[in-house]
């Protein structure tokens, strides 16, 4: 349903203009993230190319292969280089997905800005129409009433932004809870493998849970990037992500001994600690956003009271 009065039109126009400004801030943050992800992907692709060249140097007839053969290290060197290439390839896959996600977010924001149209012209027209009505009515408080209507629109847009940030936060919190469950399972299998002998089944379960945890935390970090875009125009900084790589599974297969078992277990414990810290930061952000929304409601209440007083005085 379209707005029926000049006051309603002005409020909607003010809300659209504020919304556009907020989206521009988010879009700038999203563009920065795309650039960062692009550089990250390019660097990891260069590393993969170098690791691939190392493997090919050992697989084909080359000085590196001859030297490794003479030293009796060819099989070990080749296994190590292939594992490092696999780790590098996984890193490129992860970076490529992060870049795709960042571009999707940037495109979404650009489309949202475009859909709003020429909000400046719409606001100017609505402002002029509302002022004309008040002048025709002979209102002594016309300027303040126009200002109040404009502030109503801005507050409405701010409330929408805070609500969207709260929804993005809730998604991040749910993703973190799922990731923590996967990490707890990986930690349990790692402890069993380290202290109780493990075996092939334990290794398989541990590697599967590590991979699940890596995928789960990748989802958490994408949710945090979306949250960062929503927070950009609210003056709140991004929330630091948690990193756990499924290359731990490759590492553990290559060096299947008590030292690697301890390293993997410690890495999982570090990730669990980071996840707990992230949960506390998200909880603090939840309180902050709720307070901001209460503040918007309080300011709206004050404007309603002031508007009513001005209109009754007329």
Is 70 exceeded by the pLDDT of residue 107?
yes
75 lies in the same domain as 159: no
Is 70 exceeded by the pLDDT of residue 190?
no
Residue % of the chain over a pLDDT of 90: 22
In a domain, 1, yes or no: no
For the purposes of burial, counting CB atoms within 10 Å of the CB of 121, is it exposed (0-12), middle (13-18) or buried (19 or more)?
A: exposed
Widest CA span of the chain, in angstroms? 100
pLDDT tens digits, one per residue of 26-79? 899 889 889 989 998 999 899 889 888 888 777 675 565 555 555 556 667 777
- The model's confidence at residue 169, banded by pLDDT at 50, 70 and 90, is very high
pLDDT tens digits, one per residue of 144-164? 888 888 898 889 889 999 999
Reference 119, options 9, 27, 3, 229; nearest CA is 9
- Retrieve residue 114's tokens: 């475009």
How many Å apart are CA 16 and CA 180, to the nearest integer?
Answer: 39
**For residues 54 and 85, is the Cβ–Cβ distance under 8 A?**
yes
Taking the CA atoms of 275, 281, 287 and 288 in sequence, report the sign of the dihedral they define: negative
pLDDT tens digits, one per residue of 202-233? 556 566 667 777 778 788 888 888 888 888 87
155 lies in the same domain as 39: no
231 lies in the same domain as 190: yes
pLDDT at 173: 92
In a domain, 274, yes or no: yes
Instruction: Write down the pTM of the prediction.
Output: 0.60
How many Å apart are CA 186 and CA 212, to the nearest integer?
Answer: 9
Domain finish residue from 112, 137, 162: 137
Q: How far is CA 183 from the centre of its chain?
A: 20
Domain finish residue from 86, 107, 137: 137
pLDDT at 253: 33
Per the structure, the count of domains in the chain is: 2
165 lies in the same domain as 105: no
> What CATH number corresponds to the domain at position 263?
1.20.120.660
Mean pLDDT across the chain: 78
Domain finish residue from 137, 167, 197: 137
**For residues 234 and 161, is the Cβ–Cβ distance under 8 A?**
yes
């Amino acid at each position: 349903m379209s707005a029926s009065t000049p006051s309603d039109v002005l409020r909607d126009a003010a809300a659209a203009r504020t919304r556009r400004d907020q989206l521009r801030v988010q879009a700038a943050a999203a563009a920065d993230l795309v650039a960062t992800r692009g550089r990250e992907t390019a660097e990891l692709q260069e590393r993969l190319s170098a690791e691939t060249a190392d493997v090919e140097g050992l697989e084909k007839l080359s000085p590196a292969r001859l030297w490794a053969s003479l030293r009796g290290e060819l099989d070990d060197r080749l296994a190590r280089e292939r594992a490092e290439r696999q780790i590098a390839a996984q890193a490129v896959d992860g970076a490529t997905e992060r870049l795709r996600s960042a571009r999707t977010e940037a495109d979404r924001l650009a489309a949202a800005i475009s859909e709003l149209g020429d909000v400046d012209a719409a606001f100017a027209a609505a402002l002029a129409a509302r002022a004309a009505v008040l002048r025709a009515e002979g209102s002594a408080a016309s300027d303040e009433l126009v200002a109040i209507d404009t502030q109503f629109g801005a507050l409405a847009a701010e409330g929408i932004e805070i609500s969207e940030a709260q929804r993005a936060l809730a998604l991040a919190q749910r993703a973190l809870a799922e990731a923590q469950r996967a990490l707890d399972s990986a930690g349990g299998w790692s402890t069993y493998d380290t202290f109780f002998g493990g075996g092939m089944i334990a290794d398989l379960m541990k590697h599967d849970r590590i991979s699940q945890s890596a995928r789960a935390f990748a989802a958490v970090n994408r949710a945090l990037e979306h949250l960062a875009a929503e927070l950009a125009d609210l003056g709140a900084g991004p929330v630091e992500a948690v990193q756990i790589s499924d290359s731990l599974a490759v590492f553990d297969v290559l060096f299947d001994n008590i030292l690697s078992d301890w390293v993997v277990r410690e890495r999982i414990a570090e990730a669990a600690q980071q996840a707990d810290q992230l949960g506390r930061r998200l909880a603090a952000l939840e309180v902050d956003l709720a307070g901001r929304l209460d503040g918007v409601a309080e300011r709206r209440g004050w404007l309603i009271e002031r508007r009513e007083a001005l209109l009754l005085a007329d």
